[in-house]
Amino acid sequence: MNRKKKKIKIITTIGILLFFFAGGLWYIRQKSGEVLQQEQTRDVQSIFVEQNKETGTTPMLTPGTEKVSEAPVLVVYICGAVNNPGVYTLSVGSRLYEAVAMAGGFSAEADPFYHNLARTLEDGERIYIISYAETKEMTVQQKADGEDGEGKDTAGGPINLNTATKEQLMTLSGIGEARAESILEYREKVGEFTDIEEIMNISGIGEAMFAKIRDKITVK
């Protein structure tokens, strides 16, 4: 009888020890998993911090997950002398050269030296990459100013398409000697411009160029 009690006691003790041993292993595994998850979370966060140093934005991780909140972005439309014109999404702080790269790079007709490839892009911007044919008709000063000079006000206010001289017309962005002469010829043959959009009747002046000069011309 005593032997039977001793045997039961031994089995009970072993069972209790195994229970605590199994519980200890489970606890250790749980803690190890939490530590590993925290380390992975820190690693993911550090990666995104490094990727966004240039833009000055740091995506934050949601506690207990590996999901990252969306980084600020901007959307631009790039057209003209690029291989794949279209709408592209870039991170805030991106430069013009990055948008050109996303659009497949400059086409064979592009004049890359006209543009400031290091300038910062703005959300909703429309980027028109100019061609050699267009810069060929520009004045030396217009070429030197490049696209940075496009936003400068024309001296003396808007150019009147009905009274401007060839030299005055050539102060407009993209209007070289040939196009200025075409405008004068149009005035002689057709008559005065009744609306500024009528300038798009001139060969070589499309919507893209009109958008650049519409605020700098008048018919009154």
* pLDDT tens track for 158-212: 889 999 888 888 888 778 888 889 999 999 999 999 999 999 999 888 888 888 8
Query: Rounded to an integer, what distance in angstroms lies between the CA atom of residue 51 and that of residue 49?
Result: 5
C-alpha dihedral (174, 178, 179, 180), degrees to nearest 10:
100
Average pLDDT over residues 213-218: 89
Predicted model pTM: 0.42
Q: In this predicted model, what pLDDT tens digit does every residue of 25-51 receive, in sequence order?
A: 666 665 555 544 455 445 434 544 454
- Using left for φ > 0, alpha for ψ between -120 and 50, and beta otherwise, residue 66 falls in alpha
Query: Rounded to an integer, what distance in angstroms lies between the CA atom of residue 87 and that of residue 124?
Result: 10
Residue 144 has a pLDDT of: 63
Phi then psi for residue 172, to 5 deg, are -80, 145
Count, residues in the chain: 220
